[in-house]
Amino acid sequence: MKGENYMQLEFPSRSANESFARSAVSCFAAQLDPTLDELGDIKTAVSEAVTNCIVHAYPDEIGTVIVKAKILPDHVLDIVVKDRGCGIPDIEQARKPMFTTGGEDRSGMGITIMESFMTEFRITSTPGKGTTVHMKRKIICRGGKR
């Protein structure tokens, strides 16, 4: 679906770039005039998706993370976070709360959090080729011009 406005970022999978991606997408989303709660949900979901790329997609190397966002009709923010890393061999297992391949310091709640904060959520992955997280969030129109 064609967007009304869009942006794209590409950056190395360094942990310092997680906050950059979160901030960039939240600034882009601001044009929809989201509530603070909506903005917080968007920031958290982007943070989880990018962190998963950093921790899981490229566990032993620095790779590339791509973040795209666009504004769709009816006040929908469409976000895609993509890597070209190791991929997820079993998506259904990865979606289970508390499952992680990132070690004991990881909660295993990233996918659950992303899914709960978005209106729509989809994850696709091919082992050895990478993972794409596609999220949409409908922003409630609060009466102003849009």
Catalytic residues: 48, 52, 106
At 35, list the tokens. Answer: 């509530």
At 41, list the tokens. Answer: 């949900």
At 90, list the tokens. Answer: 């079993």
* CA nearest to 133, candidates 142, 143, 123: 123
At 126, list the tokens. Answer: 């091919």
Whole-number Å distance between alpha carbons of 83 and 76: 23
